[in-house]
Amino acid sequence: MKIPVIKRLVETQPMEKLIEAELAIINEKPLPIEIEGEDEGEQLTHALAAIWILERMQETNKDFKDALREYTQKVRESIN
């Protein structure tokens, strides 16, 4: 997971394109947008993170940093 990639997606892509990209990766289709990543797994991670963060920002009026902090905390908890 690379935070600069997620930040760029949040800042430049609408939710609809991110969801299209998520489905394209899952269905092994060409991506409708460019998502950096070493493989499809990392690309999917970046897309899912950007979607989660955008949803959180819209639901709670939080800025990117706060939503990102919540996301990374959620990831840490799931690993432990």
- Model confidence over 34-46: pLDDT tens digits? 999 999 999 999 9
Does the global pTM surpass 0.85? yes
**Band of residue 80 on the pLDDT scale cut at 50, 70, 90:** confident
DSSP 6-64: HHHHHHH--HHHHHHHHHHHHTT---SS----SSHHHHHHHHHHHHHHHHHHHHH---H
Angle CA 17–7–59, to nearest 5: 70
Domain residue ranges of the chain, discontinuous segments joined by +? 3-79
In whole angstroms, what is the distance from residue 35 CA to residue 12 CA?
A: 11
Predicted pLDDT at 26: 96
